[in-house]
Amino acid sequence: MAIVNFRTDELTQQALDELTADGATVSAAIRQALIDAARQKRRDLMRRESTALLTDAADLTESRAVLRDLDDLRAW
């Protein structure tokens, strides 16, 4: 497990104060903030990928073909 030191600026210190106002330790607040930031980054990436697929003609054609195939299977 790594130990990380960093210097806060005014804005970062205000955020840290807000995150620890409920009694959370600085370490716990920073750990949770990093986890939340990574999760948000993954969500943003998925959103961008989804948006790109909405305008991808080849992907839309393939999706429609798969849906048709599934409809044929449901008829059984």
**Residue 56 in domain:** yes
**Residue 50 in domain:** yes
Q: Is the pLDDT of residue 75 over 70?
A: no
**Residue 69 in domain:** yes
Q: Is the pLDDT of residue 1 over 90?
A: no
Residue pLDDT, tens place only, 19-63: 999 999 999 999 999 999 999 999 999 999 999 988 899 999 999
- Global confidence as pTM: 0.70
Total of domains in the chain: 1
Q: Where in the sequence is the domain holding 29, given as residue range(s)?
A: 10-74
Pairwise CA distance, residues 38 & 50, whole Å: 18
- Structure-token match 């849906």, residue found: 67
Q: Is the pLDDT of residue 66 over 90?
A: yes
Contact (CB, 8 A) for 20 and 12? no
Residues 6+ apart with CB under 8 A from 60: 54
